[in-house]
Structure 1
């Protein structure tokens, strides 16, 4: 099989892959394997339902509020655990951090400690803390444009799954 890829695109991608320690062939193999396992593209292509344009208008505050509501309204336990798993969050949202992190208590000192990463940088909200079954969760604030469509896609799936369970 012969691939027809523009040389400039191939060169740029090869430089990026090299920085990641991958050959272009390895990167293509990863992409193809992920495509097969997800039965489609390994990332969502999400269009605005009204005009067909890409939709990434959700804000960090809206994401935080949505997660707060989901956790407090009884997000399935399995998904609550998933959102605390950095590997799951990297795969689903392309985030470098878990979406949720458990705080010891709702005391401000414990919230501030939980909101920091290993290097002491705040990665989670200290103002909006979710409570579920007596436990407190800080919510990631590390959302950028590349994460918003992934969050929206995940949220739609969660809504579909929880509405089909409650029927």
Structure 2
């Protein structure tokens, strides 16, 4: 099998941290990159999930609560004035 050189540029700090990480895992950054590319080709995509920022626990809870309100499973607190809302919010 013939081989081809590939060059990538990265910040020194990233290179040093990746070298240390992969050395601790018993391999090299170069081997890790080859593993990444081989897995990407085999799976026909990124070998890990690509997502936007995931909501934290508090946000997930708020989303679930909003769906429960929407589905009529729980009642939403209703305020007749902004002042009442702010009083409740601050308490």
Name the TM-score, length of structure 1 as normaliser: 0.29
Match of 1:14 among 19, 37, 45: 19
* Superimposed CA distance per residue, residues 40-61 of structure 1 (whole angstroms, 9 cap, x where no aligned partner): 21111123xxxxxx124469xx
* C-alpha deviation, 1:2, in angstroms: 2.1
* C-alpha deviation, 1:18, in angstroms: 0.4
Aligned counterparts of 1:2 and 1:27: Cα–Cα separation in 2: 14
**Once superposed, which parts of structure 1, at least 4 consecutive aligned residues long, lie more than 2 Å away?**
56-59
CA 1:58 to 1:35, structure 2 compared with 1: closer, same or farther past 3 Å?
Answer: farther
Q: Indicate yes or no: 2:60 matched with 1:55.
A: no
Aligned counterparts of 2:40 and 2:29: Cα–Cα separation in 1: 16
- Output aligned runs, 1:17-166, within 5 Å: 17-47=22-52, 54-57=53-56
Q: Which has the higher contact order (CA 8 A, sep 6+)?
A: 1
Structure with the higher strand share, 1 or 2: 1
* C-alpha deviation, 1:20, in angstroms: 0.3
Aligned counterparts of 2:13 and 2:49: Cα–Cα separation in 1: 25
Gaps spanning 5+ residues in structure 1: where? 48-53, 60-167
Gaps spanning 5+ residues in structure 2: where? 1-5, 59-91
CA 1:58 to 1:46, structure 2 compared with 1: closer, same or farther past 3 Å?
Answer: farther
Structure with the higher helix share, 1 or 2: 2
Name the TM-score, length of structure 2 as normaliser: 0.50
Which of structures 1 and 2 has the bigger CA Rg? 2
